[in-house]
Amino acid sequence: MTKEEMVQLLKDYHWMINSVKVIREGMNEVSEGMTARYGLEAAMPKASGGRPSDPIYREFNRRERRLKKVYEYERKIQLVQERIPLITEDREIEVLHWLLEGKSLRWIGRHMQVSDRQIGRIKDAIIDKMLQMSHMPHMS
């Protein structure tokens, strides 16, 4: 994993968590009806005709693709969460917390009463520590 990829993961973490939560809630509301029609029935012989023109079938496929995206987000979220224990210094823990909440460097700097440049340096130290885990043998 590159430094740029880790920076992007930290930047995207907040919205990915929110998206996973909302998507899962939405999937639970609709899945019962669609599973009955397209889950088990999908394995049964089909009459000739254009099932792909069925709007419910197309909606099912759209949601299936969305679910695959959720799994991708969850994998990325897990990459960050596995690395959180590597951050042990108080200032770094605080900065990481606010980064994961989606706050800007400027906001964090005002909150902690230090310059946003100092927050940037702390963020860089966090990223360096998180990247070290990528080089450990068990993480390959």
* pLDDT digit string, tens, across residues 77-104: 999 999 999 999 999 999 999 999 999 9
Residue with tokens 């450990």: 136
Q: Measured between alpha carbons, how far is 127 from 92 in angstroms, rounded to an integer?
A: 10
Residue scoring higher pLDDT (134 or 128): 128
Q: Measured between alpha carbons, how far is 126 from 84 in angstroms, rounded to an integer?
A: 9
Using the predicted structure, report yes or no on whether residue 39 has a pLDDT greater than 70: no
DSSP string, 68-103: HHHHHHHHHHHHHHHHGGG--SHHHHHHHHHHHTT-
Q: Measured between alpha carbons, how far is 14 from 11 in angstroms, rounded to an integer?
A: 7
> Where exactly are the structural domains of the chain?
3-43+52-135
Q: What is the pLDDT of residue 112?
A: 97
Give whole-number Cα distances, 14 to 45, 57, 63, in Å. Answer: 44, 32, 22
Give whole-number Cα distances, 9 to 37, 45, 69, 99, in Å. Answer: 37, 44, 15, 10
Give whole-number Cα distances, 110 to 30, 54, 85, 103, in Å. Answer: 43, 54, 25, 11
pTM, rounded to two decimals:
0.74
